[in-house]
Amino acid sequence: MLSVSAISELIKKSIMSICAAFLCALSMNLFLVPAHVYAAGINGAAQLISDLLLDGMHVHLSISLLILALNLPIAVLGWYKVGKSFTLFSFVTVVLTSLFLTILPVHPLSSDILLNSIFGGMISAIGVGIALKYGISTGGLDIIAIFLTRRNRNASSGRYFLILNGIIIIIAGAVYEWQYALYTLISRFVNSYVIDMIHTKYQKLTVITVTDQTERLIDAIQDQFDRGMTVIPSYGGFTGMKKSTLMVVISHYELYKMERLIKAMDPNAFTNILETNKIIGTFHNEEQQKAIQAMKHGENVGKVKQTLGAQDYEHFQKLFETSAIK
């Protein structure tokens, strides 16, 4: 049976999913689609395919249906390779976006392509931003980028977004007029800028927390994230009370979960979250964290070794054996 907090969290995420889907659909039907400016990611790909089929083969397929069709295989990939909860809410958002695209009329509010590009990018960014802020996404490229980043640990998900969106823009420019591709670029710039204002996207973050609940917070972070951290003895400048400063690096997708964890363990903790430009050293992705958890509980040892690599596997084996002795 779900607890009250779990039910509350489910309701909150569901509301955010509905809001994100509505804003994404609104941006497309009122601004982007009438101006022939393409949205980001799978939504933009669905727009482009719909236009190509209509103009080249006189076949009409609705954008909402194409969005669903393109996201289905991505959802299967995400379910097995990225995370069930994240993928589930992402796909729910995709379904709702398709529904709103069908319900809302395609009605331009302005004949100015530049205004449509700016406001279309801004409104969709608000939807994507609030979704990411609550630990979900609008589907499509988010899931693909996470999967590709896990396959190549040295690459950033932002790079994959740039490549995948670039392909859409180039095809649109080559088949239709290049001005639409250029306006799409403007829309993408506005989109990225607004998302960064709402939620730090495609980046790693450094979380610095000052707390007097040191052991509780360390145990909770290691249990739920398996992140290493630096513990710095400190004291209050005004009160002189002894405290500890914990510094840990996380991915942007872990931010919402980390915020909730800190508040649960120590509501009075002072937390500063910084953007991290570069990391030199070991940083485990979500798949590797799950492998470490499995190793901690003695599950799927062979698969764990393959995921972590021999060196990391030996390191954590010794670490867990030492902890067990203590």
- 12 by DSSP, 3-state: which? helix
Averaged pLDDT for residues 208-236: 88
pLDDT at 180: 83
Please give the residue that has the higher pLDDT: either 291 or 95: 95
Place of tokens 């973050």: 205
Name 243's bridge partners.
Answer: 234
Structural domain 203-282, CATH architecture: 2-Layer Sandwich (3.30)
Extents of the domains making up the chain: 4-198, 203-282, 284-326
Cα 153 to chain centroid, rounded: 16
Whether 295 contacts 304, CB under 8 Å: yes
Lowest mean pLDDT among 118-122, 129-133, 167-171, 231-235: 129-133
Which of 146-155, 252-261, 313-322 has the least mean pLDDT?
A: 146-155
21 by Cβ neighbours in 10 Å (0-12 / 13-18 / 19+) ranks as: buried
Query: Taking a C-beta distance cutoff of 8 angstroms, is the pair 124, 39 a contact?
Result: yes
Give the confidence band of 303 by pLDDT, cuts at 50, 70, 90. Answer: low
pLDDT band at 116 (very low <50, low <70, confident <90, very high): very high
Q: pLDDT tens-digit profile of 228-252?
A: 789 999 988 877 889 999 999 887 7
For range 91-110, the mean pLDDT: 91
* 115: Cα within 13 Å, side-chain hemisphere: 6
Q: Is the pLDDT of residue 226 over 90?
A: no
Residue 60, judged by CB atoms within 10 A of its CB (0-12, 13-18, 19+), counts as exposed
Q: What is the pLDDT of residues 16-64, one digit of tens each?
A: 899 999 999 999 999 999 988 888 788 888 888 898 888 888 888 899 9
The per-residue pLDDT for 100 is 95
**Mean pLDDT lowest among 134-138, 173-177, 313-317:** 313-317
